[in-house]
Structure 1
Amino acid sequence: MRLSVTSWSFPALTLPEVAGVAKALGIPAIDVGLFYRSAIDKAGILSDPKAAAERLSGLGVGIANYYHLFGDGLGDRNLALPGTAEANARDLEQVLAFAEAAGIPTVFLLPGIVNPGQSREQAARVATDNLRVLLDVPGARDRICIEPHVQSWAESPALVRRLIDGTGVRLALDYAHFACLGYRQEEVDPLAPHAAHVHLRQAKPGALQAKFAQGTLNFSAMFGTLRDAGYDGFLALEAVHQDYMGTLYDDVLTETVALRDAFHAWEGNA
């Protein structure tokens, strides 16, 4: 396992500046996405994937993961919305070409929300059907993964397991989303064998993000669970400063360093 840091952790920084912070912290890779000053150009990815990949060269760090949204925001063209599969599959072809050209091992998508007029069960069925279409795109099974998150339809380990069983999809696993909703860490551990990418931040019931010393996640136990499950991918440090679920109030750099040090301390004694 090795570390990366998410570019959206530092909303005021450009992508080269995020890469510079990662290098200064001894973190070999960054995750890229479509948000804040470090955003990459989605229109460019969809129109010319190779040129978009070339624009990432010269950062001096690896690219661990790309976070893609098909639409504008969490609701637009989300995976649980009927009638979106064909357009999303076309876009995914370009996204995968971009990831291949840029040497990005994984691309994470969101599972979708409970859309107006839907029940959670209906959203789950539509998302499962739409995801099967996406996984049929050449190369998709090797690269894409889904991040279950608060306010999606997939908010419990049981629902996530149903999605895995129904599609074979792998996960961008973030224990914080489950801890926020009150699930114990041991209830999330069975998802570890299905991880293709992992996000790290401290959390506790009712708080998606907590200061390192004030949360309930046991990172040493988490690292051991992932190792025992055979996980050998990136651990993305994802402390954030966002106007989303009370995550505006932490010192992101301090929390990033605390997470980094926790992993290195465990790694040194593993």
Structure 2
Amino acid sequence: MRLSLASWSVPRLTLPEAAEVALALGIGALDISTKGRPGLDKAEILADPRAAADRVRRLGVACPNYFHHFGADHADRNLALPGSVEANARDLAQVLTFCDAAGIGTVFVLPGRVNPGQSRAEALEAAADSLSALLAVARDFAAELCIEPVVHSVADSPAAVRALVDRTGVRLALDPSHLICLGHPQETIEPLAAHAAHVHLRQARPGALQARMAEGTIDFPAFFAALRQAGYDGALAIEYLHPVGPHGYTEDVLTETVAMRDAFRAWADGGA
């Protein structure tokens, strides 16, 4: 397992500056997206994916994962929204072309939400149908498509996540903070490590999606051990979010990033 830094943790930096910060911290890898100042141009990725890939390769840092959202925002063309599959499949082919050209191993999308007029069961069924179609597109590419179970989505419990995995075979960008925030015990989340294709790291506690390392409830040594036991050997992206935003986070992103880096290093030195 190896560390990465989420570029959207430093939203005021340019993408090359974010890469330099990752290298300066000894993390050595950078997750990328279209978010904030370091974000890529989504229109370019969809129109000329190889040109966008050239920009990524020039960063001089490994980029293990790309976060993509379909449509104008996280609600538009979400995976549970009827009528969005064909457009999303077309976009995904371009996204995966970009990822393969840039040497990015995984791309994650959000699993969809309960849309107006839908029941939860209907939304979950629609998301599964969309995922099945998108995974069929992904079979022609090296980069792997995965989903991140998050708050305000159809995959907001370990049971719902397992239902999507069982129905589609999709793997996960696993971030325990979302499920911990919603009150699910860590011991019910750790079995999902068997389905992880990518991992996010951020401390949290019930009712709080982000917390200082000293104030959260996630037992990271136990989580790292669960990943190792499941055979996970991919990237662990540290993903603290900048204070500016609707959630009103107050954590110092750099301080908490370094604390998480050191926590992983201490565990790896003692338990690898």
Which TM-score band (shorter chain)?
over 0.9
Over aligned residue pairs, what C-alpha RMSD do you find? 1.2
Q: Name the CA shift for 1:247/1:171 in 2 (closer, same or farther; >3 Å).
A: farther
| Other structure's SS at 2:214 match | helix
Equivalent residue letter for 1:145: C
Question: Structure 1 stretches (4+) deviating beyond 2 angstroms?
Answer: 138-142, 242-248
Aligned to 2:232: 231
- 1:1-57 per-residue CA deviation (whole Å, 9 max, x = no partner) reads 000000000111110110111011001110001111001011111111111100112
1:60, distance to aligned residue in structure 2 (A): 1.8
- 1:43-99 per-residue CA deviation (whole Å, 9 max, x = no partner) reads 111111111100112212100100000111110000000011111101111100000
**Quick one: distance in 2 between partners of 1:215 and 1:245?**
20
Q: How high is the TM-score relative to the length of structure 1?
A: 0.98
Aligned to 2:52: 52
1:223, distance to aligned residue in structure 2 (A): 0.4
1:146-161 alignment, distance < 5 Å:
146-161=147-162
Alpha-carbon contact 1:74-1:113 (below 8 Å) kept = no
Q: Name the CA shift for 1:72/1:242 in 2 (closer, same or farther; >3 Å).
A: farther
1:246, distance to aligned residue in structure 2 (A): 2.7
Aligned to 1:178: 179
Q: Which runs of 5+ in 1 are unaligned?
A: none
Alpha-carbon contact 1:207-1:246 (below 8 Å) kept = no
Which segment drifts farther, 162-171 or 133-142? Answer: 133-142
Equivalent residue letter for 2:180: A
| Other structure's SS at 1:56 match | helix
Q: How high is the TM-score relative to the length of structure 2?
A: 0.97
1:142, distance to aligned residue in structure 2 (A): 5.1
| Other structure's SS at 2:66 match | strand
Q: Name the CA shift for 1:196/1:247 in 2 (closer, same or farther; >3 Å).
A: farther
Aligned to 1:255: 256
Equivalent residue letter for 1:203: A
Which segment drifts farther, 199-208 or 245-254? Answer: 245-254
Is the counterpart of residue 166 in structure 1 residue 135 in structure 2? no
- Identity of paired residues, percent? 60
Equivalent residue letter for 2:119: S
Is the counterpart of residue 84 in structure 1 residue 84 in structure 2? yes
**Quick one: distance in 1 between partners of 2:86 and 2:55?**
28
| Other structure's SS at 1:5 match | strand
- 1:208-258 per-residue CA deviation (whole Å, 9 max, x = no partner) reads 000000000000000000000000000000011155563521100000000
| Other structure's SS at 1:260 match | helix
1:119, distance to aligned residue in structure 2 (A): 1.2
Alpha-carbon contact 1:69-1:110 (below 8 Å) kept = yes
